[in-house]
Structure 1
């Protein structure tokens, strides 16, 4: 997909990040049809904090468009006055809402004295995912509960995708995930599982690699974070 980047100066203001998201109903049919030409599926639509634009949440992340759907914008938009990335501010409530609906399908490592809950999209073959997992006790001791979601980096149909289905279907999914991250074989087990849905959810957040950490505010941090650095991010998260 050819990339168009819109660089804006002095945007003026950011609309509330809690703006109501609208399903792609009839009034947005033209936008949906235009986006389908780019192989993008529209999940929700809302007015953007820039006059004349819509923000469109898709199966591949957030994009912006003119209200008639003619002009498509891919890239980051910055508010230089408020010194924030508009894309990030607008994605946070969307991410929070979607993760809340997926809470029961995560593999959770709970802190005894929980202060924070993070969601992490993971792949057991990913080196930095393994590093994060080996430090799980440190995260938990710091009051950080970790909820894992599946994100097989090589996509649906890959060996890792199958492995992650076995993990999520195991009687003890925690132990199975730990074993996989230690390079051990997993006993095959199949059931109705959320692996495909979680992978597609991660893609809709714009995630392309692992680990991908999501803070309670919905802020997305790509890559591994040591405990001390993560705590600093959590303390200032808003």
Structure 2
């Protein structure tokens, strides 16, 4: 029996080595095919390197605080990423927008800081006094108002990104003329003394709760006619304004003809 085992050992070792070699060959072939498919699918991108990722097994999509994340249970990885399809569509952003739309019912317009005239196209705006893109958006709204295209903005403050945002938001909300103070702060004014009040502090905290519930993670974030707009997207806002004004004109036309 011992002689038989000794005789069989080299053959078994060779079989195992062959099996491992076949596995490596199959993996190399699969990697080559995957790399070829990558180049064929995303023809407009140049890739400098290609190789195995640490993530293993199936990947699942989850929503945490309104944000889309991905989980690979086999290798126990969480991925914070944006996934694009072969047409260039950001499917992660689309999933996040769908989630945000589900939470629209949580937004109470009566609790917003309202800026702009009644009867103008209405837009929901999540903003941060220290966000440079929010200040650029403010200049855009001022330009549109000067062109005779004002909007009615329902403003909620995002105070968890910049350290002074909460204090500046409370200063705006506690001022006698909230709209004027809002415009001054967003124009870069640095008040010598910040206004404080219980109502303003409570509003800042309530806005922070709403932001967490909906999952707003960046500023500015806008909801225009049910559509989520992440960042200062001027072309999308111009389209919204044109369509909104056309709808208002269409509603007014029958009354004008009577």
Same fold per superposition (TM over 0.5): yes
SS at match of 1:75: coil
- Greater strand share, 1 or 2? 1
SS of 2:198's equivalent in the other structure is: coil
Equivalent position of 2:220 in the other structure: 211
TM-score (norm 1): 0.57
Q: Which one has a larger percent helix, Structure 1 or Structure 2? A: 2
Aligned to 1:105: 111
2:29: which partner in 1? Answer: none
1:212, CA displacement in angstroms? Answer: 3.5
**Shift of residue 74 of structure 1?**
1.9
Match of residue 186, structure 2, among 181, 187, 193: 181
Q: Runs of 5+ in structure 1 lacking a partner?
A: 1-7, 12-51
Superposed, 1:182-197 pairs within 5 Å as 182=187, 183=189, 185=191, 186-191=194-199, 193-197=202-206
Quick check: which has more Rg, 1 or 2?
A: 2
> How do 1:51-200 residues align onto structure 2 when only pairs under 5 Å count?
54-59=60-65, 61-66=67-72, 70-80=76-86, 83-102=88-107, 103-115=109-121, 117-139=122-144, 141-142=148-149, 144-152=151-159, 154-155=161-162, 158-170=163-175, 172-182=177-187, 183=189, 185=191, 186-191=194-199, 193-199=202-208
Q: Would the alpha carbon gap of residues 199 and 66 (structure 1) be closer, same or farther in structure 2, given more than 3 Å must change?
A: same
Relative to 1, partners in 2 of residues 1:78 and 1:129: Cα closer, same or farther, differing over 3 Å?
A: closer
Alignment size in residue pairs: 182
